[in-house]
Amino acid sequence: MMMEKKIGAVFMAMMALVLLATTSGASRINDISCLEATPLLLPCVPFLKATDNQKPTDACCSAASSIVQRATSTKNRRDLCQCFKQAASGIGINPDHLKQLPELCKITISFPLDPNVDCNT
C-alpha cells in the first residue's frame, strides 16, 4: 500500500512537469533564435547602411516580416532586440533607415526600431 502511494505521487509529479513543459513551450514553439534571424536580415544590410534615399528590397521586407511573425513571445522579442542591437553596432547602420523599415515594408510592430531602444520595455 505504501509503495502504491509513492508510485502514484511520482506519477502525478511527472504529469505536472510534462504539463508545465508543454504549456510553457507552446507559445515559444515558433519563436526564432538570434542565430536563425541574423542571416535572414542580410538582404536588409545594403538598405540599412545606405546614406541615400534607397528603398528596402522585397527580400529584405519578406525577411523582416517573417521574423516579426515568428517572434511570438515577449522574451523572444527582447532577445532578438538585444541580438540586433549588437549586430547593428558592428555594421554601422543608418538609424533613419532603421526607423523607416517597418513603414516601408508595411510591417506593424509595437515598438520603435531604434539603435538606442531599451529592449526590456
pLDDT tens digits for 6-60? 333 333 333 333 333 333 444 455 689 999 998 999 999 999 999 998 999 999 9
Query: In percent, how much of the chain has pLDDT > 90?
Result: 40
Gap between the Cα atoms of 15 and 21, Å rounded: 10
Start-end of H helices in the chain: 2-26, 34-40, 45-49, 58-70, 74-91, 95-104
Q: Please tell me whether the overall predicted TM-score, pTM, comes out greater than 0.85 for this model.
A: no
pLDDT band at 1 (very low <50, low <70, confident <90, very high): low
